[in-house]
Amino acid sequence: MDFSTITQSPDIRAIVQENILERAFHDALFPQLMFRGEATPQLWPGNVGDTMVFTGVGLIKPKMAPLRPGNDPLPSDYQKEQWTATLHQYADTIDTAMPSSIVAIANLFLENAHQLGLSAGMSLNRIVRDRLYNVGMSGNTVATNATTASTLPVARLNGFTTARRPDLALGSAVRFDTVSSTNPLPITVGAVAANVIGFTPSIAGDEVGPGTLTLDAPITWALRAKVVAGDASVLVRTGAGATIDALTSANVLTLSDMRTAISRFYQQSVPTQPDGRYHCHLSPMAVQELFADADLQRLNTALPDYYMYKEFAIAELLNTVFYRNAEAPIAQTVAGGTTAAYDTTDPFAAELYVGGTTAGIPVFHTLLVGAGAVYEYYQDLGQLITEAGVTGKVGEPRITNNSIEVSTERIQLILRSPLNRLQDLVSTSWKFIGDWPARTDVATGDGARYKRVVVLEHA
């Protein structure tokens, strides 16, 4: 039983006020938002419509053979490729009844604005997270049934809906266009080669989640057979298994896996970030796995006071900065993750469990990022304000939570004047207009469509 320091006399306690309510809101636990920092901000040029096309170029092949006397050199050429960005509007709002705010334990209006700012930062951070991981997982999935047919159900459509075929007369020569009979995407199902000429998403309009691929001819496949696009991103899977289902509890992240992924960057001439390093985002669980790796332990032999163990952080190794990122995708940070269900509100392409159901062991995904992997094209929202002005206040929020500055750059905060009849309902909203395109690099190096991101898949 608890006893107050106040005298236990019933008469005294009867005149003492108990359960005094502190008139304050305390900050919630909130993660550091790091993924959005990987996007290079670029102002969207004015008056260009809602879609912009970007063009990249390949290299002219080296010519090392000497010319024959009297002959002119033959004209050379180089490949081109294009990717697009499309303006979208992202927003959220919350209403505050000012009579309730007056009698609340603290200023409810300010707390609502604070919470809305946190939500804005987390929302855009997770959008960039999904874009980066989906690039690294592009063209890698599994079949969800076993049969012989020309329609192939797959766990994810990510990386299978567009193709670029400059080698075909009627194929798309520069841009990644929708797959068709004239612009097919070569794939491998198990060990069988095929071509995708169409697709049907399970959720209308979604090209990341589950769906069905239409093939140019019937083939036979097994349940959960690997399905890999001809231009798939290179995925580093601990244990080197063919699919996610090959992972076991013993396949934890190792320093050897990191060396493999980083070597991939160097082989493909991926530039480092402006700080001269590559960036690695890994969950706290992945950090724990690396600390259990024999290679890392040997590096720290007889160094008990080294910062790695003092701060439980790898910080910098292998010319890579390691970020312990609580927003890294696990079941608890991906919508639908705890039930192994794909959710269009959080279009994350990877599966989070072996076997695709919660009966399997959890799977973790570590992200390695080089420079220029994704850009943040944003609209100058000041252009939306006309001479008529606004009924309220407009600005850019500055949010601090648990003494941590929350990334809210280029987000517009709108405090609308109360417009109801009693003039006591205030709406607070945030808005962002832009897109995060991931550039392709298929015109140089090997055949992978995306080269500036590598995902490491481990148990």
CATH code of the domain in which 405 resides: 3.90.1690
pLDDT of residue 315: 85
CA dihedral 144→145→148→154, nearest 10 degrees, is -10
103, two tokens: 């009698």
**Do 323 and 340 have their domain in common?**
yes
377, two tokens: 């094209």
**Do 155 and 249 have their domain in common?**
no
Of the residues 183, 203, 230, the one at which a domain ends: 230
Q: How big is the chain by its Cα radius of gyration, in Å?
A: 27
**Domain assignment of residue 385, yes or no:** yes
**Domain assignment of residue 308, yes or no:** yes
**Domain assignment of residue 100, yes or no:** yes
333, two tokens: 């940070």
Q: Give 55-98 pLDDT, tens digit per residue.
A: 999 999 999 999 999 999 999 999 999 999 999 999 999 998 88
**Do 219 and 366 have their domain in common?**
no
User: pLDDT under 50 in the chain at which residues?
Assistant: 1
**Do 212 and 333 have their domain in common?**
no
pLDDT of residue 407: 72
Residue 294: CA atoms inside 13 Å, Cβ hemisphere, count?
Answer: 0
H-only helix segments in 192-335: 255-267, 284-291, 294-299, 307-311
Q: Name the residue type at position 343.
A: D
pLDDT of residue 6: 62
CA dihedral 120→122→125→129, nearest 10 degrees, is -140
pLDDT of residue 40: 92
**Do 221 and 271 have their domain in common?**
no
Q: Give 356-413 pLDDT, tens digit per residue.
A: 999 999 999 999 999 999 999 998 887 776 555 566 677 777 777 776 677 778 898 8
**Do 116 and 174 have their domain in common?**
no
**Do 147 and 207 have their domain in common?**
yes
**Do 159 and 207 have their domain in common?**
yes
Contact 458, 248 (CB under 8 A): no
pLDDT of residue 269: 96
Of the residues 178, 201, 230, the one at which a domain ends: 230
Of the residues 207, 230, 253, the one at which a domain ends: 230
pLDDT of residue 2: 56
**Domain assignment of residue 5, yes or no:** no
**Do 125 and 146 have their domain in common?**
no
pLDDT of residue 391: 65
For CA atoms 292, 298, 303, 308, the dihedral sign is negative
The Cα 28–Cα 30 span in angstroms is: 6
DSSP codes of every residue in 180-232 = -SSS-EEEEETTEEEEEEEEEESSTT-SSSSEEEEEEEEEEE-TT-EEEETTP
**Domain assignment of residue 285, yes or no:** yes
How many helical (H) and strand (E) elements, i.e. helices and strands, does the chain have? 7, 24
Q: Name the residue type at position 35.
A: F
**Domain assignment of residue 20, yes or no:** no
Q: Which of 458, 442, 40, 47 is nearest to 230 (CA)?
A: 442
pLDDT of residue 404: 67
**Do 254 and 333 have their domain in common?**
yes
The Cα 128–Cα 410 span in angstroms is: 14
122 by DSSP, 3-state: which? helix
* Alpha-carbon distance values, 433 to 112, 207, 360, 380 (Å): 22, 21, 39, 8
In 1-146 the beta strands, taken as DSSP E runs, fall at 40-43, 51-57, 80-86, 88-97, 140-142
2, two tokens: 């608890």
Q: Please give the residue range of the domain that contains residue 358.
A: 28-51+77-138+233-459
**Do 442 and 295 have their domain in common?**
yes
**Domain assignment of residue 7, yes or no:** no
299 by DSSP, 3-state: which? helix
175, two tokens: 């841009």
Contact 443, 57 (CB under 8 A): yes
> How many domains does the chain contain in total?
2
CATH code of the domain in which 170 resides: 2.40.30
**Do 124 and 202 have their domain in common?**
no
**Domain assignment of residue 220, yes or no:** yes
